[in-house]
Amino acid sequence: RSSDPANCLSMTVSSLHLPPLLAAHSLSFARNDEPVFGPLDFTVDAGEALLIRGDNGAGKTTLLRVLAGLLRPDAGRIEVDGLGTDAPARTRALAYLGHLPALKADLGALENLEFLCGLQGRRSGQSPDAAMRIVGLDGYQEALARQLSAGQKKRLSLARIWLSPAPVWLLDEPYANLDLDGIELVNRMVQAHLREGGAALVTTHGASAARPVRSRELIMQRAARRPLCHA
C-alpha cells in the first residue's frame, strides 16, 4: 500500500467511479401470471451489505433465486460490474446460500467442500480444512453430511460460501438453525468478506447482519394481485 497522501487521494477519487458489483434495473418476476415482485431497482457496491426485509410472500427468496440464475425474470436487467449478464455468467460472480444445504449426504464434510471447490473454484489463500475450523466444525472432517445436525449442516454450507471466490454473496435466511454463537459467526464472516471488497445480499426476519459495516435496506412488499372474478 502506498503511504503517499496524493496517491491515496487519487485512489479514493477513482474508486468513486467504479460500477456497483451488482445492479438490478426494473427487475420483476411473476408466477402463473401473478406478480411476485417488481419492478425493482437497486445496486450493491463493493464493501456493502444489502439487507432484504419483508413479510412472508413478499418475494425475498424468489429475488435471490432470480439473481442466482435459478429462475428467469419476466422483465428487467441484472448487471455485474456494470455489465449485463446471463445466468451462466452470473454463477462465477455470485455465491448462493439457500434454504437447502446443497450438500451430498453420503460424502464426508471435508469431501463435500473439496468437491465443491473442484466445481466452483476456491478463494485465494483458503483451504477446506481451514474453512471447517473457521465455522466451528474442526473434528467433523470425516463425518458424513447426513449425520450432521441442522445447525452443523448450516455451518458446513457457510464454509462452502466462505471458500467461494465469488465477490457477491446471496444469503437467504443465513441465521436459520443457528444458535447465538452461529449468528455471530455469520456476522463476522460477512464483515470479513466486505472488508476484502466483496458484497452481500441478506434476507432476514430479525437478526442483524454485518453491523457495523456499511449497509442499506431493501424493503419488499407483496405485489398487488389480480382481483378475483365473481359470476
Amino acid at 32: N
Contacts of 142 (CB under 8 A, 6+ apart): 108, 109, 110
Residues 166, 123: Cα–Cα separation, whole Å? 8
The mean-pLDDT minimum among 57-61, 71-75, 163-167, 220-224 falls in 220-224
Residues 65, 75: Cα–Cα separation, whole Å? 15
pLDDT at 113: 97
Among all chains, which residue has been given the C-alpha cell 502506498?
2
Per-residue cell: 47: 464493501
> Which pLDDT band holds residue 209 (cuts at 50, 70, 90)?
low
Q: 95, 128 in Cβ contact below 8 A?
A: no
β-partners of residue 202 are 51, 171
pLDDT at 181: 93
